[in-house]
Amino acid sequence: MGAGLRAHSEVLKYETSAALLDLLVENGASKPEQVPAMVRYIHQWLLANDSAEHRLDKTLLNLTKAHPDDAVMTLLRVAPSCDRAAWTMWKTIMGSSRTAELAQLVLLDVLGNWPEHSTCTSDGDKTGVFALAATLVMWKILQVPCIPHIMKVYFPCLFVHLLFQVFFSILDMPEEVDTFWNGCQEEHGIATSPNREIRQSSIHIFCGIAFYLLSLLSKEMPYWDFPALAFLVEVLECLDLRECSDSVLEIMSKNLRSEDGERRHLALRGLVVLGKNPLMLPECFGTGFGL
């Protein structure tokens, strides 16, 4: 299914092909190795039938609900630049309470693996997926009139992942990723210098971002540690330290002992901020880092 799809695209013009897919999903949605082919088929069917974009919504939702990793990763692979048919599918997936959170978690996982995510789908496909492909999907979803509630729930995590993408892309933008992103900018009219200043966020969102950064720094994630520390220092003054003072001091203390001069500098900046907070003065002096 799908192997000779392009050569026999006239089959896609018939209503029977959609009905057949519905039947296949009902009888075989529990077989994950079939899901990537079915997702590719839906995408091709929509490309050939732009006047019937909702015909396979139920089928797509059933596939995504049963096998979110396979459905989301396949759609990112088959249409990384998010063409018309892919966008129709994403709106269906992210607009349903059955599948929105499942898909959001997979997209966040892809976003967090710069520049390429290489999860193998159940059909054995190990082709990498650009993190920027998931970024493009998020960008388009955030522009719809009614943003899915699940996007707001995971906004701090999404924001941090995007900040990390900016950080890593400044350090290292592989040629193939640069070519892909330039193509997306031309196709979708994306701004070449988007303003992502973290201080533009509301205090509520600001705190959520800070707490997510703290959770990352509490884990052993060497690749993420430095940017997470840098961003945490920037938002530290707006954090309610009554809830996390011990965690913040532990992180700053650990980085102050680092052999990396840039980490020590960031830790010192963080301690200066903490020292300006009356609630934190006893703790700062108690740790031997009186300011």
The answer to whether the beta carbons of residues 243 and 236 sit under 8 Å apart is no
pLDDT of amino acid 78? 95
DSSP 237: G
**Which residue ranges make up each domain of the chain?**
1-196, 200-291
pLDDT of amino acid 76? 96
Mean pLDDT, 10 residues at a time, the chain of 291 residues: 48 59 64 90 86 81 94 96 94 94 95 85 91 91 84 87 80 76 78 50 70 86 85 82 82 91 93 76 50 44
Give the DSSP H or E segment for 66.
Answer: helix 57-66
The answer to whether the beta carbons of residues 276 and 233 sit under 8 Å apart is no
pLDDT of amino acid 149? 85
The answer to whether the beta carbons of residues 274 and 240 sit under 8 Å apart is no
Distances (CA, A) of 68 to 20, 39, 50, 130: 22, 11, 25, 18
- Phi, psi dihedral angles at 129 (to 5 degrees): -125, 130
Instruction: Please tell me whether the peptide bond between 282 and the residue prior to it is cis, using omega within 30 degrees of 0.
Output: no
**Residue 130 DSSP SS3:** strand
pLDDT of amino acid 102? 96
The answer to whether the beta carbons of residues 172 and 131 sit under 8 Å apart is no
Residue 117 forms beta bridges with which residues? Answer: 129
25 CB contacts (<8 Å, ≥6 apart)?
Answer: 38, 59, 62, 63
The answer to whether the beta carbons of residues 165 and 135 sit under 8 Å apart is yes
Q: How many CA atoms does the CB half-sphere of 140 hold within 13 Å?
A: 24
Identity of the amino acid at 62: N
